[in-house]
Amino acid sequence: MQATEARAPAATRELFYNEALNEALRLEMERDQRVIVIGEDIAEHGGAFQVTAGLLDRFGPTRIRQTPISEIGIVGAAVGAALTGLRPVVELMYVDFAGLAMDQIVNQAAQNRFMFGGQARVPMVLRTQGGSGRGNAAQHSKSLEAWFAHVAGLKLVMPSTPADAKGLLASSIRDDDPVIFLEHKLLYRTKGAVPEGEHLVPLGKAEVKREGRDLTIVTWSREVLFALDASAQLASDGIEAEVVDVRTLVPLDKDLILASVRKTHRVLVVHEAIRRGGYGAEVAAMITEEAFDDLDAPPRRLAGLETPIPYAQHLEKSVVPQVDDIVRVAKELVV
Amino acid sequence: MQATEARAPAATRELFYNEALNEALRLEMERDQRVIVIGEDIAEHGGAFQVTAGLLDRFGPTRIRQTPISEIGIVGAAVGAALTGLRPVVELMYVDFAGLAMDQIVNQAAQNRFMFGGQARVPMVLRTQGGSGRGNAAQHSKSLEAWFAHVAGLKLVMPSTPADAKGLLASSIRDDDPVIFLEHKLLYRTKGAVPEGEHLVPLGKAEVKREGRDLTIVTWSREVLFALDASAQLASDGIEAEVVDVRTLVPLDKDLILASVRKTHRVLVVHEAIRRGGYGAEVAAMITEEAFDDLDAPPRRLAGLETPIPYAQHLEKSVVPQVDDIVRVAKELVV
Amino acid sequence: MTTAEKIDRKTALDLYRVMRTIRSFEERSMQLFGENKIWGTIHSYAGEEAIAAGVCANLRDDDWITSTHRGHGHCIAKGADLGRMFAELLGRETGYCRGRGGSMHIADTAKGNLGANGIVGGGIPIATGAALTAKQLGTDQVAVSFFGDGAANQGTFHESLNLAAIWKLPAVYVCENNQYAESLPVKRAFAVDDIAKRADGYGMPGVHVDGRDVRAVYAAAGEAVARARTGRGPTLVVADSYRHEGHYYGDPRKYQSKEEIDGWRRQFDPLADARTWILADRLASDADLDTVDQNIATEIDRAVAWAEEAPLASPIKLPDDVYASH
Amino acid sequence: MTTAEKIDRKTALDLYRVMRTIRSFEERSMQLFGENKIWGTIHSYAGEEAIAAGVCANLRDDDWITSTHRGHGHCIAKGADLGRMFAELLGRETGYCRGRGGSMHIADTAKGNLGANGIVGGGIPIATGAALTAKQLGTDQVAVSFFGDGAANQGTFHESLNLAAIWKLPAVYVCENNQYAESLPVKRAFAVDDIAKRADGYGMPGVHVDGRDVRAVYAAAGEAVARARTGRGPTLVVADSYRHEGHYYGDPRKYQSKEEIDGWRRQFDPLADARTWILADRLASDADLDTVDQNIATEIDRAVAWAEEAPLASPIKLPDDVYASH
Ligand SMILES: Cc1ncc(C[n+]2csc(CCOP(=O)(O)OP(=O)(O)O)c2C)c(N)n1
Ligand SMILES: Cc1ncc(C[n+]2csc(CCOP(=O)(O)OP(=O)(O)O)c2C)c(N)n1
Ligand SMILES: [Mg+2]
Ligand SMILES: [Mg+2]
């Protein structure tokens, strides 16, 4: 895989995150006949979050394959299709439903290559979305990246901007391994500049979304936006936070994270998933192992409370890190 | 729940780990008619690891309810039974099959109480076993505690000795919340002294299985035995390792772990599960957060390589921490 | 199809009252949603009232049900308090779930409602487990699982029905075939005409009933419940129906034509039908039914007012609500 | 039951050869296991050879199969190299999976075997996906999923058969009913007599065949494969059989009486049966068949010797074998 980032920058337009994903799907489907989309509600309705809108008209019902509600059947069919020559992109409507399909994701997709001694490859993408913020309650709001990160054989992507969404989805589709691609329900209607035409963001590369010298905030998905807002507030108090958007959780760009930490000597890891056993623990533990002597304070974690996500708006907000929480903890850390 | 540990010590006998579990099941079933066991192969065959041996004869086929191969149906039935007055103990033959039942474990069992505002309780135990060491390869050898630890609403137990197996299983059955009880396939035929009669080990209490002053090894399940062996070797080189057996991963006994770390100033976290996103990251991150200034070195993690478990014996050993590995890393840490 | 039986005045009025209550509840929730007072998602049961009403009229308070994302109707038919339901939708401390659940997660365990479920097919094994409890403890309780046509293609359906059949559990599986699973019409989701046929594969009776006709549902469910209660095992009941609204509040319904919607809505209105046969069978007068309607309207107003007066759910100590024992 | 058709000499000998190879392979694996040369678990396919042989005789190298934990037979019938199979069981670098897979995970993708599976029911959706590839790319390939009676109670069975039916995929689902799922007899796992009945619920043909009779299997599978290949959709074939050995090597078989085992073993020996009808139909002589047997014995010896000479699988860089691209 090759990053285009080195080339002359392409023209950009402002797109919503879901439009950017839609564009990536369209371009990859035009480029490669083997790419198909498979999932619930993705045809006439265009997907629960309109990521596949218009694709039925363009590619027809065999390449935009709408399914009954049969999560493990669908994911398993994608595994079989990937093994035999297609490059399926599965849309799982909510990551909370992964518990129905985890066996095919882990025991079959992720392990196939290793288990069979390298005979096959499983070029499939499982796109889904998670996160809270829409009042969908405990069965439609989880953040489950830690489950996938803990599986040998999966790659794991969580873009925070429309441009990254497009570029990382295209790269994921071209990747020869099973990629879990996690969107966030509250990012779909965020806008940003997106390069036209082919745009690839390589897997495994984090990005500094804001430079700073006083502390490093390592985060991903929707919390990147919160961290940027928080950084703006911190700046007005004279604290310059560097925001590292991890983008690809597996493989993890340790070099970029460590370089930032070695500069700022303080680190705050932020994610929406519950704290206990969250991927933030991995990031924090890795930083401590690799950069202990560079740290002026222990890495802090700011993450979801250990509860299911409640329904009511004010309750929901109270269990996942908000902008103010980041500001508060960052200040504690820098003092 | 009350620990019996304070009372006069009961008479003990040497039992195998699976016999100790069997005894706990028998005693709890005798004590409480609402306790039933449900799972595959648990009747005439006595369970894949002989944990339910003899219980069919004693309690009959309605309380030792052998099922077809229908993991999500079985776990879901246990949830429903638990909600309505039984106290089911499910035997899931291999933790690797959890991917088939994760939805009922997480979206239903774990979240029920919170989601419905405290109307109900889900007193069920999901017993299963994991780990490598028997040549069962990638789909029968995983260690998945990190998945369960990252779910709000589950408790998580991983005993390493026959006595703990008995005492923790009894406590888990009497607990009013869903408990994931993870055994290890290579522990079943290990022996130890087990108290007769009622024996309860409280959930949430770690135990120092060996005292030492030079470093703390925090670990659980089968690796406790490896750590004890390693400690003996280390001792002959003048290094005194303290071995903390976590026993209950959720709730985690932070106090005991931190007290040990504050004494030794060096810590090694060991587990068999793959390192990336393993529960060791949580333990290491917690220690760093809470005891940064007491640490003479960053907490080290020794864990499984990031591969599925291979079949061949020598390959299998090469991907999970062995006694020698613990010795080696402990020495690096103490130097 | 099971044919409808003659029904007495009291039963007719009870069934009518439940159906009207459900319809009015749904209308008011939609309104509240439109006013941004409810958030998240709601799925209207309008058009399907005959199923919940007809089935639950056969149940006792100590019988159990499991419900779905489209669960208001089941909840009401099982005897829930409307005020506490609205309070839940409005995120109040007095709601059934203290604002933690919302529309997709209302339970009313005191009345045997083990809960709505946001996971399609998620309630089927749970009802099966409840039926196991009844059998194990030797009670004569029955467990009913409501689920949609969409859920009938989930693995949980398959595994649960088989378990219930081999163990002869006192369970009734009620498949509400409202013609769609979100945007997917049943004819594209099944290659078999009659979902009830699947029962044969498990060795249990499969009954297909007109879900518009509350009398037919009442009779078919009555048989199934009696079968379960008397130890003769589970039944699959498939009830044809149609949801009047979109899948969720705000569904643009791109997958349906206006003609289809209008035609079906006219053809499938169990409430209007009930009024018609009640009058035709002279079980009650127009005025009687109007009085029922008005009483329900008043009750709904009161329930909403009660709910709106209650304090918002307290966010204090949420983590303490996760476990029953610490 | 599909009736067996007359079969020509070449086909008869081919079928016999495959069955005998499987039997001999299993005998030798058991022996090697007993000698502690193979570890982990092995599940013998002895007694069920007619199913793999009869089905795969209808397949081309570019057709796909998914197999099970009891997978040696399917692998051999699909054309695998015995040496590489033994090498896998012995943990050698020359094994099909370089010692990473073992008995429960042999694949031979060059011959269309997408792999054995340690997850009961795990291969059913995968075969369905392979059939989707064939349909999508417009080839005339067929995908066959082998699975046991136990797997027929898994959710994956249900969801996959429905998908294949609504999409008319070129898939054949072969349920090997060997009377047990581990210690659970089919009569306790199903409340229905004939598993093939389940096909009705998906709108696909369900065929019940005597899995002892390789001619019957060959014919029934032939029809199903032809149906699939010509775009007429999937079929469920249920083949009755019996496993001669325990569930796994070392199974104490507490759930079976000696009488049952002996009786069934005599009654269900497809290999002995084949010898009988081949002779009766004068398709080959005793001497011909003895020659086949001897050749296979030699081949097995050679295969084991070749496997044992190979180096153990290398543990170097295992983590690099997890991903195809880095
Ligand atoms: C496991 C799962 N998959 C998908 C969804 C998204 N979803 C919610 S309702 C629904 C349709 C359900 O159809 P059906 O069972 O027929 O019930 P209906 O909505 O028609 O009442 C879907 C796909 C879900 N909530 N859970
Ligand atoms: C999902 C899952 N559940 C349970 C097991 C344990 N197990 C292995 S084989 C087997 C029995 C399978 O029975 P069946 O499908 O009839 O195949 P058979 O062994 O009879 O060939 C079981 C329960 C498993 N491997 N996978
Ligand atoms: Mg529906
Ligand atoms: Mg079987």
Which of A216, A302, A301 lies closest to A264, judged by CA?
A216
- Give the model's pLDDT for residue D81: 98
Q: How many CA atoms, within 13 angstroms, populate the side-chain half-sphere of residue A133?
A: 19
B1-to-A89, B83, B89, B109, B202 alpha-carbon distances in Å: 49, 20, 18, 21, 7
Distance CA C257, CA C263 (A): 10
Q: What is the secondary structure of D137-196 as a DSSP string?
A: HT----EEEEEETGGGGSHHHHHHHHHHHHHT-SEEEEEEE-SEETTEEHHHH-SSS-GG
Ligand nearest to the CA of C179: 3
Distance CA D263, CA D114 (A): 35
Q: How many CA atoms, within 13 angstroms, populate the side-chain half-sphere of residue A107?
A: 33
Q: Tens digits of per-residue pLDDT, A278-306? A: 999 999 999 999 999 999 999 999 999 99
- Give the model's pLDDT for residue D138: 98
> Does residue D287 belong to the interface with chain B, where contact is any CB pair within 8 Å?
no
Distance CA A194, CA A173 (A): 18
Measured between CB atoms, which of D109, D132, D137 is closest to A120? Answer: D109
Ligand nearest to the CA of D153: 2
B154's tokens? 């589950």
Which sequence positions of A are flagged as catalytic? 71, 140
Query: Would you state the torsion angle of the CA atoms of residues C152, C157, C162, C167, taken in this order, to the nearest 10 degrees?
Result: -120
Distance CA D11, CA A33 (A): 40
Note whether B84 contacts C114, CB cutoff 8 Å. yes
- Give the model's pLDDT for residue D208: 98
Which CATH code for domain A207-334? 3.40.50.920
Give Cα B321 to chain centroid, integer Å: 17
Q: Which residues pair with B207 in a beta bridge?
A: B245
| C-alpha triplet C167, C173, C174: angle, nearest 5° | 170
Distance CA C195, CA C206 (A): 9
D173-to-D146, D198, D208 alpha-carbon distances in Å: 6, 12, 12
Q: What is the pLDDT along chain D (326 residues), one digit of tens a residue?
A: 344 467 999 999 999 999 999 999 999 999 999 999 999 999 999 999 999 999 999 999 999 999 999 999 999 999 999 999 999 999 999 999 999 999 999 999 999 999 999 999 999 999 999 999 999 999 999 999 999 999 999 999 999 999 999 999 999 999 999 999 999 999 999 999 999 999 999 999 999 999 999 999 999 999 999 999 999 999 999 999 999 999 999 999 999 999 999 998 888 999 999 999 999 999 999 999 999 999 999 999 999 999 999 999 998 889 999 999 98
Measured between CB atoms, which of D99, D119, D183 is closest to B315? Answer: D99
Q: What average pLDDT does the segment C87-100 reach?
A: 98
Which of B156, B155, B168, B161 lies closest to B5, judged by CA?
B168
Distance CA C312, CA C294 (A): 29
pTM over 0.95: yes
> Does residue D115 belong to the interface with chain A, where contact is any CB pair within 8 Å?
yes
Instruction: Respond yes or no on whether ipTM tops 0.95.
Output: yes
Contacts of C273 (CB under 8 A, 6+ apart): C50, C212, C213, C214
Nearest atom (ligand 2) to Cα of D178? 20
Q: Name the DSSP letter for residue C62.
A: T
Note whether A104 contacts D64, CB cutoff 8 Å. no
Decide: helix, strand or coil at residue B16.
Answer: strand
Note whether C159 contacts B72, CB cutoff 8 Å. yes
Distance CA A272, CA B152 (A): 13
Distance CA C171, CA B170 (A): 31
- To test the ligand 2 pocket, which listed residue (B41, B66, B75, B93) has its Cβ within 8 A of the most ligand atoms? B93
**Where in the sequence of chain A do the CATH 3.40.50.970 domains occur?**
13-195
Check: CB of residue C22 under 8 Å from CB of residue C243.
Answer: no
Q: Which residue's alpha carbon is at the smallest distance from atom 21 of ligand 1?
A: C148
- Give the model's pLDDT for residue B3: 44
Which of C252, C243, C236 lies closest to C203, judged by CA?
C236
Nearest atom (ligand 1) to Cα of C151? 15
Note whether A139 contacts C312, CB cutoff 8 Å. no
Note whether B84 contacts C322, CB cutoff 8 Å. no
Distance CA A158, CA B2 (A): 45
Q: Is the CB of C180 under 6 A from ligand 1?
A: yes
Q: Is the CB of C118 under 6 A from ligand 1?
A: yes
Confidence of residue A242 (pLDDT cuts 50, 70, 90): very high
Nearest atom (ligand 1) to Cα of C121? 1
Please list every residue in chain D whose beta carbon sits closer than 8 Å to the beta carbon of residue B75: none
Question: Residues lining ligand 3 (ion), CB within 5 A?
Answer: C 148-150, 178, 181
- Give the model's pLDDT for residue D326: 80
Q: Is the CB of C178 under 6 A from ligand 1?
A: yes
Measured between CB atoms, which of D154, D166, D200 is closest to C200? Answer: D200
Phi, psi angles (nearest 5°) of residue A216: -110, 125
Q: Name the DSSP letter for residue D103.
A: G
Note whether D322 contacts A152, CB cutoff 8 Å. yes
Strands annotated E in B158-312: 179-184, 191-195, 207-210, 215-219, 241-245, 248-250, 267-274, 300-304
> Does residue C319 belong to the interface with chain A, where contact is any CB pair within 8 Å?
yes
Please list every residue in chain A whose beta carbon sits closer than 8 Å to the beta carbon of residue B115: 137-139, 308
A165's tokens? 């969404």
Q: Name the DSSP letter for residue B201.
A: -
- Give the model's pLDDT for residue C286: 97
Which sequence positions of B are flagged as catalytic? 71, 140
Note whether D97 contacts A113, CB cutoff 8 Å. no
Please list every residue in chain D whose beta carbon sits closer than 8 Å to the beta carbon of residue A105: none
> Does residue C133 belong to the interface with chain B, where contact is any CB pair within 8 Å?
yes
Which of C136, C143, C96 lies closest to C307, judged by CA?
C96
Decide: helix, strand or coil at residue D77.
Answer: helix
Terminal C-alpha separation, chain D: 52
Q: What average pLDDT does the segment A192-221 reach?
A: 98
Terminal C-alpha separation, chain B: 43
- Give the model's pLDDT for residue D34: 97
| C-alpha triplet A93, A95, A98: angle, nearest 5° | 100
Q: How, if at all, do strands B179-184 and A155-157 pair?
A: unpaired
Which CATH code for domain B13-195? 3.40.50.970
- Using the mean position of ligand 2's atoms as its centre, give its distance from the Cα of residue A205 in Å: 42
CB atoms within 10 A of CB D293: 18
> Does residue C167 belong to the interface with chain A, where contact is any CB pair within 8 Å?
no
Check: CB of residue D159 under 8 Å from CB of residue C154.
Answer: yes
Contacts of D110 (CB under 8 A, 6+ apart): A119, D61
Q: Is the CB of C149 under 6 A from ligand 1?
A: yes
Distance CA B110, CA C169 (A): 25
Rg of chain B over Cα atoms, rounded to whole angstroms, equals: 19
Q: Which residues of B sit within 8 Å Cβ distance of D?
A: 40-41, 43-46, 66-73, 96-97, 100, 134-140, 305-308, 310-315, 318-319
D284-to-B319, D11, D18, D166, D269 alpha-carbon distances in Å: 53, 11, 15, 45, 19
Decide: helix, strand or coil at residue C221.
Answer: helix
Residue whose pair of structure tokens reads 């030079």 in the numeric block: B214
Measured between CB atoms, which of A84, A153, A177 is closest to D130? Answer: A84
pLDDT cut 90: percent of chain A above it: 97
Please list every residue in chain B whose beta carbon sits closer than 8 Å to the beta carbon of residue A282: 276-278, 281
Ligand nearest to the CA of C71: 1
Q: Does residue C3 carry a pLDDT above 70?
A: no
- Using the mean position of ligand 2's atoms as its centre, give its distance from the Cα of residue C1 in Å: 39
Ligand 2 pocket, residues with Cβ under 6 angstroms: B 40, 69, 71, 93, 97, 100; D 69-70, 118-120, 147-151, 176, 178, 180-182, 247
Decide: helix, strand or coil at residue D244.
Answer: coil
Indicate the angle between helix axes D214-229 and D270-280, nearest 10 degrees.
100
Nearest atom (ligand 1) to Cα of C177? 16
Q: Report all structural domains of chain D as residue ranges with CATH numbers, in order of start.
A: 3-63+117-280 (3.40.50.970)
| C-alpha triplet D73, D77, D79: angle, nearest 5° | 125
Decide: helix, strand or coil at residue B173.
Answer: helix
- The 3 state secondary structure assigned to chain A is CCCCCCCCCCCEEEEEHHHHHHHHHHHHHHHCCCEEEEECCCCCCCCCCCCCCCHHHHHHHHHEEECCCCHHHHHHHHHHHHHCCCEEEEEECCHHHHHHHHHHHHHHHHCHHHHCCCCCCCCCEEEEEECCCCCCCCCCCCCCHHHHHCCCCCEEECCCCHHHHHHHHHHHHHCCCCEEEEEECCCCCCEEEEECCCCCCCCCCCEEEECCCCEEEEECCHHHHHHHHHHHHHHHCCCCEEEEECCEEECCCHHHHHHHHHHHCCEEEEEEEECCCCHHHHHHHHHHHHHHHHCCCCCEEEEECCCCCCCCHHHHHHHCCCHHHHHHHHHHHHC
Q: Edge-to-edge strand order for the sheet containing C171-177?
A: C64-66, C143-148, C171-177, C235-240, C206-210
Note whether D162 contacts A73, CB cutoff 8 Å. yes
Note whether A104 contacts D122, CB cutoff 8 Å. yes
Q: Which residue's alpha carbon is at the smallest distance from atom 25 of ligand 2?
A: D119
CB atoms within 10 A of CB D235: 24
- Please identify among residues 224-263 of chain D the ones whose CB lies closer than 8 Å to any CB of chain A: none
Check: CB of residue B177 under 8 Å from CB of residue B121.
Answer: yes
Q: Is the CB of C123 under 6 A from ligand 1?
A: no
> Does residue D89 belong to the interface with chain A, where contact is any CB pair within 8 Å?
no
Cis preceding-peptide flag for A251 (omega within 30 of 0): yes
Check: CB of residue A201 under 8 Å from CB of residue A171.
Answer: yes
- Using the mean position of ligand 4's atoms as its centre, give its distance from the Cα of residue D74 in Å: 15
Q: Which of B69, B103, B332 to mutate to test the interface with A (most CBs of A within 10 A)?
A: B103
Distance CA A142, CA A277 (A): 14
Note whether B281 contacts A276, CB cutoff 8 Å. no
Confidence of residue C6 (pLDDT cuts 50, 70, 90): confident
- Give the model's pLDDT for residue B2: 42
* Residues lower than pLDDT 50 in chain B: 1-5
Note whether D104 contacts B140, CB cutoff 8 Å. yes
Neighbours, chain A (3 or more CB pairs < 8 A): B, C, D
Which of D43, D10, D56, D26 lies closest to D214, judged by CA?
D56
Q: Is the CB of C47 under 6 A from ligand 1?
A: no
CB atoms within 10 A of CB C61: 10
Please list every residue in chain A whose beta carbon sits closer than 8 Å to the beta carbon of residue B152: 274, 276, 306-308
Q: Tens digits of per-residue pLDDT, C226-236? A: 999 999 999 99
Neighbours, chain D (3 or more CB pairs < 8 A): A, B, C
